[in-house]
A and B are shown apart, each in its own frame.
Chain A
Amino acid sequence: MKENLYNYILGIADNSLILGQRMGELCGHGPSLETDIACTNISLDLFGQVRSYFQYAAKIAGDNRTEDDIAMLRKEREYKNVLLVEQPNTNFAYTIGRQFLFDVYHLAFLSELQNSQDLTLSAIANKCIKEVSYHERFSSDWVKRLGDGTEESNQKMQDAINDLWTYTDELFHQTEADKMMVSEGIGVDVTKLKDGFYERVNTLLAEANLQIPESKWFQKGGKEGIHTEHLGYLLSELQYMQRTYPNMEW
């Protein structure tokens, strides 16, 4: 089995899986019918992407594991998503802030992944990028609306950006699998996406009448499986059915 490629794919897909679950939590709980549907749509887009990645990963694994096993039956430390995407829906500003920061990264990442030497990954990236362009449009639009809205919405958006800022740097860290895949022309060198990310984010924050956080202290660990306390709760909900009724199917 190609261990590095397998881990590399999980590193990409887990971000979409965990963020998809977070957005899915808003199904029936969004602030308005329209935003509720929009958030759930984003969730479904992300789950669709996850299926493509995990189906490929299951094929590479070459044993009997399925996409569902990979999604549902790992333990917390085996999930490789960045800390940013597991942060909770504290309020709508946090939901939008988390989505915006991830979308800017995700769009730049997929844009590069399209050039991967691995044809399956480049095809998945090519298919996903249109969806993610829309996600970025939706979330950046809402950052501007809340940031440049009322005094209260501005404050809430600012608080969310300030709190989430500490999770941005990790997006550009490389794992061992990342480095191997970059050297083989398969993976994306995320360290090269960093400047463009902060440039785009900072421009939009200024446009949204928001302050760019000055903190230079960043959290890390998600990519290595060391998560914040929020992931365990999320996983217990995500995995409940498969843990309680093993091999259950719809």
Chain B
Amino acid sequence: MSKKNWPLWEIFVRSKNGLEHRHVGSLHAADSEMALENARDVYTRRNEGVSIWVVESINITASNPENNGELFEPAHDKVYRHPTFYDLPDEVKHM
């Protein structure tokens, strides 16, 4: 039996209001509506979310691991780009 797979979709779930949507995984579906329903069943059945985004994987442009050198390594030795050189007042929490 020939088996054609449905397109792949990337699933993003917002766990509660105020937080961002986070990538939780991927699944197969024939269209966006089915992707939402499948995502509901596969990724939110244990009360994980309040909102779902689905994006067809084919629409995602990813960086090439071969380019990691030029893309990311220059940042390795530039610690001063982190805002860690300030004295924080004691009143400021959660930084």
Question: A141 contacts B45, CB within 8 Å?
Answer: no
B27-74: which have CB < 8 Å to A?
27-30, 33-34, 37-38, 40-42, 45
Q: Which one of B28, B30, B34, B41 has the greatest number of beta carbons of chain A within 10 Å? A: B41
Question: B27 contacts A34, CB within 8 Å?
Answer: yes
User: B40's closest neighbor in chain A, by CB?
Assistant: A134
A1 within 8 A of B: no
Q: Point out the residues of chain A lying under 8 angstroms from B27, CB to CB.
A: 33-34
A6 within 8 A of B: no
Q: How many Å lie between the Cα of A37 and that of B27 in the bound state?
A: 12
Chain B: interface residue total (CB-CB under 8 A) = 13
Question: A145 contacts B30, CB within 8 Å?
Answer: yes
Q: How many Å lie between the Cα of A32 and that of B42 in the bound state?
A: 12
User: How many residue pairs at the A-B interface have CB separations less than 8 Å?
Assistant: 29
Question: B33 contacts A38, CB within 8 Å?
Answer: no
Question: B30 contacts A41, CB within 8 Å?
Answer: no
* Candidates A34, A134, A141; contact of B28 at CB < 8 Å: A34
Question: B41 contacts A32, CB within 8 Å?
Answer: no
Q: How large is the interface on A (under 10, 10 to 19, 20 to 34, 35 or more residues)?
A: 10 to 19
Q: DSSP class of A's interface residues: helix, strand, loop or mixed?
A: helix
User: A149's closest neighbor in chain B, by CB?
Assistant: B30
Question: A41 contacts B45, CB within 8 Å?
Answer: yes
Q: Point out the residues of chain B lying under 8 angstroms from A137, CB to CB.
A: 37
Question: A37 contacts B30, CB within 8 Å?
Answer: no
Question: A34 contacts B30, CB within 8 Å?
Answer: no
User: B27's closest neighbor in chain A, by CB?
Assistant: A34
Question: B29 contacts A34, CB within 8 Å?
Answer: yes
Q: How many Å lie between the Cα of A41 and that of B42 in the bound state?
A: 9
* Candidates A34, A134, A145; contact of B38 at CB < 8 Å: A34
User: B29's closest neighbor in chain A, by CB?
Assistant: A34
Contact with B along A134-147 (1 / 0, CB 8 A): 10011001000100
User: B5's closest neighbor in chain A, by CB?
Assistant: A32
Q: How many Å lie between the Cα of A134 and that of B41 in the bound state?
A: 11
Q: Which one of A32, A34, A35 has the greatest number of beta carbons of chain B within 10 Å? A: A34
Q: Point out the residues of chain B lying under 8 angstroms from A35, CB to CB.
A: 38
Residues of B within 8 A of A (CB): 6, 27-30, 33-34, 37-38, 40-42, 45
The 7 A-B pairs of least Cβ separation, nearest first, read: A34-B38, A38-B41, A37-B41, A41-B41, A37-B42, A34-B27, A41-B45
Instruction: List 25 A-B pairs, Cβ < 8 Å.
Output: A32-B6, A32-B28, A33-B27, A33-B28, A33-B42, A34-B27, A34-B29, A34-B41, A34-B42, A35-B38, A37-B41, A37-B42, A37-B45, A38-B37, A38-B38, A38-B41, A41-B41, A41-B45, A134-B40, A137-B37, A138-B37, A141-B33, A141-B34, A145-B30, A145-B34
